[in-house]
Every structure is written in C-alpha cells, then in structure tokens.
Structure 1
Amino acid sequence: MQKNILNKIVTIAIGLIWLANGLLCKVLNLVPRHMQIVSRILGEDFAKPLTISIGVLEIFMAGWIVSGYKSRVNAILQMLIIGLMNIIEFTLVPDLLLWGKYNIVFAFLLICVIFYNEFYLKKAN
C-alpha cells in the first residue's frame, strides 16, 4: 500500500516537472535561457515558435503522465527524451545550462526516478 501511495506522489511530481518546464519556462518564457538554448541549437529565426511548441508538447507530456495511459511507453519515452536532450545540450550549449555540464547528472537522476517509479513502485500495484 505504501508503494502505491509513493508511486502516485512521484507520478504527480514528475508531471509537475514537465508542466513547469513547458508552461512556465517555455510557453510563458519566464526562463529566457530555454529560448536561448533552442536558438543556439536550432537557429534564431524559429527559436520562439519552436520553444513554444516544445513547451506545449511538455504540457501534453504532463497530462499523459498524470493520466496513467500506457505508462510504461510514457516512461520509456520520457527517459529517451531527457537523455537525448541533455546529451545534445551537454555537447552544444553547456554554458547556457543552469548547472553547466553538471546538468547531465540531474538529468540522469530524474531518469532513475522515472525508471524506479514505473518499473519498481508501480509493479507493486
């Protein structure tokens, strides 16, 4: 029973991470560094619409996470996106990251939390 409650709490927390990054950081541009990262990697001409599009997709990801629909597919997709995104940023724009090259450590920890939540905590449900 405790694993079930912890799974729900962690699932909501992960969803809130995606929601905050999508809505606050990208769509509302409260953290301009995100648009700078997109600009440097994908080009300045389309940085604003691409950043907003990425933010909207992150908001949808938050909804998908909380819905629980095909949660294993969702967890795998999250881990792949986070890993790939952070490897690209680590390589191309480490100077724009909040913790520089150490960002990859926090990304790895989030990937571990997602894995643990889906494949260990949820398994007990």
Structure 2
Amino acid sequence: MKRSTLHKIITIILASVWLINGLYCKILNQVPRHETIVAHVLNTEHSRLLILIIGILEVCLAIWILTGYKQKLNAIFQITIVISMNIIEFIAAQDLLLWKKLNIIFALLFAVLVYVNAFHFNKKENNNYATKA
C-alpha cells in the first residue's frame, strides 16, 4: 500500500475518533461516563455544559484533521491533548475510565498513530520540507 493511501486512511480514522467522541459521546450524551469524569475531575456541577463545549471542540478538531491544514501542528496538538487528558484522568478518575489503568496505554498508542501519520506517512508535507532544505 502506498504511503499516501495509508496516510489518507489513517487520517479518516483519526478524524472519526474525534468526531465520534465529540458528537456521539459528548454532544448527544450517549456515553454519560464522560460527563461523570469531568464532574469528578473538576469537582463541578456544570459538567454538562463543559462536556458540550469539549464535544464541539472535538468535532472542530475532526474537521481540522480532514482539511489537512497544518497537519504537523495538528498532530502536536492532538498528542498534547490526548496525553494531558489521560494523565489527568489516570491520576484523578482512574476508577471511572473504561479500561482503568490500561487507558493510558491506549492513549499512548493513539498518540503514536497520530505522530506516525503526520510525520512519516504525510508525503505531501514531508516533500515540502525536503525541497526547502
């Protein structure tokens, strides 16, 4: 399989993860555990509003991923969000996580996939940097 084809497939998968988590899990509130985690971590009664905002931002991130704009910056942003969020949840709400302690492993695997897709399979941006050198 060509690098560019693999890059497109992985890009769609990554955008789908953010879209599903933002729209289905948070905005449509089909996975109430997310709201429970936010309420627990932030100790707030406004967790529904915060979950809606987070969901909208995740949908926006999915759109950003699909546009292909500033893919490497986007990847760094995704990795930072996923790792930060999972460290906070690991420390403050481990008992509420779907896979408990293993959640951090899945987060790291996701971050690696984001990194590889943006920095190794992204032929277009990699070629642009090669021609500038």
TM-score, structure 1 as length reference = 0.96
SS in 2 for 1:121: coil
Name the count of aligned residue pairs: 125
Structure 2 unaligned residues grouped into runs of 5+: 128-133
Deviations 1:63-101 (A, max 9, x none): 000000111110000000000000000000001100001
Separation in structure 1 between the aligned mates of residue 21 and residue 88 of structure 2, nearest angstrom: 17
Q: Structure 1 residue 45: deviation in Å?
A: 1.4
Give the letter aligned to residue 120 of structure 2.
Answer: Y
Structure number, greater radius of gyration: 2
The residue that corresponds to 2:66 in the other structure is: 66
Structure 1 residue ranges (4+ consecutive) displaced by more than 3 angstroms after TM superposition: none
Q: Structure 1 residue 57: deviation in Å?
A: 0.2
Structure 1 unaligned residues grouped into runs of 5+: none
Q: Structure 1 residue 44: deviation in Å?
A: 3.3
Deviations 1:13-33 (A, max 9, x none): 000000000001110110000
Measured on the aligned residues, the alpha-carbon RMSD in Å equals 1.2
Q: Structure 1 residue 43: deviation in Å?
A: 2.5
Sequence identity percentage: 47
Q: Structure 1 residue 41: deviation in Å?
A: 1.0
